[in-house]
């Protein structure tokens, strides 16, 4: 039987729910150097690290796209796809294809 097309690509093990440090370390291993998808969306966001508890940090979309949970149930999925979220691209200073800057100010 084949995997569901829109299923989570990387669902972390659930046995570290009781250990925040282990969970944060697992999230760091999953998302460091990656971009991320929120839920089943195909939009790739840049990863930012947000304060959680006990000085730990968790990955989140750099643009602060909302999602429910902490990523433990596959709400966030790592991806190697380039950032496609326009706000994340702007925040990271990435050039947006098709958004060529004007060479001179246009008259109003």
Q: Which residues bind Zn ion (CB under 5 A)?
A: 45, 61, 63, 85, 88
CB of 11 to Zn ion, least distance (A): 21
Residue bearing tokens 């994340």 = 88
CB of 33 to Zn ion, least distance (A): 17
CB of 58 to Zn ion, least distance (A): 16
What's the CA angle centered on 8, arms 92 and 13, to 5 degrees?
Answer: 100
What are the distances in angstroms from CA 43 to CA 11, 14, 51, 55?
Answer: 18, 25, 24, 29
C-beta closer to Zn ion: residue 93 or 107: 93
C-beta closer to Zn ion: residue 99 or 108: 99
For residue 65, the surrounding DSSP H or E stretch is none
C-beta closer to Zn ion: residue 58 or 63: 63
């Amino acid at each position: 039987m084949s995997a569901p097309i829109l299923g989570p690509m990387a669902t972390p093990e659930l046995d570290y729910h009781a250990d925040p440090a282990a969970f944060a370390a697992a999230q760091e291993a999953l998302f460091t150097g990656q971009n991320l998808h929120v839920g089943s969306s195909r939009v790739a966001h840049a990863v930012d690290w947000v304060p959680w508890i006990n000085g730990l940090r968790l990955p989140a979309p750099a643009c602060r796209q909302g999602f429910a949970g902490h990523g433990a149930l596959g709400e966030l999925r790592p991806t190697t796809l380039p950032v496609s979220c326009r706000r994340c691209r702007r925040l990271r200073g990435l050039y947006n294809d098709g958004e060529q800057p004007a060479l001179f100010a246009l008259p109003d």
